[in-house]
Amino acid sequence: MANAIADRIEFLLRAGEVGRKAQQVSNVSVGTTRGPREENQDRVAIAQINTEYGERLSVAVICDGMGGMTNGAAAASCAISHFLASILTDRSQSPTKMAYRAISEANRAVYNLFRGAGGTTLTALMLRDGENPCVAHVGDSRLYMKGDSGELELITKDDTVFGQMGSGSNEDMLDNRLLQFVGIGRDLEPHIFSLSSYAGHEFILTTDGAHSIGKRALNGIVSNATSSLDIVRKILYVAEAIGTDDNASAIAISTHNPEYLPQFGTGLEARISTPSDKIEIWLYGDVSRNSAIANITSESSASNEQPLAKPVGKKTRSGRTSQKPRKFQTKPISNPQNKKPQLHIEFNDEGNDEG
């Protein structure tokens, strides 16, 4: 079941985004721009989930495929799809255990696809009713939180040589020498932790092309924005305006008066949204025993963003290289043993409305 759901989510993500795209779903907004590159290798998604037990769960995940390696776009799509599929099919544990299993599944899937020759960053935020927020992080994408002070606080630490030097480092000094990435194999040591408080706060997830605009610019945007969609759009506009040489993507989440996905049935219901599309998934039955039935419908969302940026040269990310990481002691990542469940998929795709 998990593999079938991952395949459908990956199909949603596979085409990527052209130009600049953004959309808002309740209190969460997601957006991306290709920038000057020929291909957008960032992938971003938000999932709103109602469980069969009446719980509500929101997941925001952002990936930056490593262009200096094999097919960064495919690695990022694979990572997000297996990360979300794991959460959808195994929600019986604590958020931190769910996050560890999900990022392990993403790492296993990307490694099996590229055997260490391809990879991606991954940063995710999970919000579940009655639980503290959970963060899962690998690489140099970032999570920021706006607290009572009104200033953005960097929650994650970059998995780079410079990022690991300590809290006194200048956050605006970027270092593309990744120490680890999703797809590296069993040496992966993900950063997974809970936040003690978040009520009324705002969260921002960014790829390096987005936070390359600098902390001061990010603070100014968040302080003066009128909505989560306004935050995302302005981050992308500024990244393009200052001449970023990379793809740029962002997710903005407001925890002020959150709106939830309405629940219509007795099974699990989920809506997964990208900057331009969305799918809805209904699961009925016992997912843990591979005896559930899934209904999946797709809907394209119109986007009123600006025309495409003009590509400049062939896409490379020569500045981003991978160094062999230190040997981490982690639990082996096992391959799941899945039977083929009954799966009913309804496709009703509409073309994207290009800006």
190-197 average pLDDT score = 91
DSSP string of 244-300? -SS-EEEEEEE-SS-------SSSEEEEEE-SSEEEEEEEES-GGGT--EEEEEEEE
Q: Where are the domains of the chain?
A: 2-158+179-317+325-345
The 3-state DSSP class for residue 25 equals strand
Let me know: does 39 contact 284? Beta carbons within 8 Å.
no
Length of the chain, please? 355
Mean residue pLDDT across the chain: 81
Measured in degrees and rounded to the nearest 5, phi and psi for residue 177 equal -85, 90
Fold for domain 2-158+179-317+325-345? Phosphatase 2c; domain 1 (3.60.40)
Q: What is the pLDDT of residues 227-282, one digit of tens each?
A: 999 999 999 999 999 988 899 999 999 887 666 666 666 788 999 999 999 999 88
Q: What is the mean pLDDT of residues 310-335?
A: 39
- Residue 83 near residue 61 (C-beta atoms within 8 A): yes
Q: What is the C-alpha to C-alpha distance for residues 65 and 79, in angstroms, rounded to an integer?
A: 9
CB-based contact 30:58 (threshold 8 Å): no
Grade residue 201 by pLDDT with cuts at 50, 70 and 90: confident
- Statement: residue 343 has pLDDT above 50: no
Nearest residue to 101 via CA among 84, 118, 76, 115: 84
- What are φ and ψ of residue 78, in 5° steps? -65, -45
pLDDT-wise least confident of 130-139, 201-210, 304-313, 330-339: 330-339
Q: Does residue 15 have a pLDDT over 90?
A: no
| Tokens standing for residue 236 | 């992308």
Collapsing DSSP to helix, strand or coil, 81 comes out as: helix
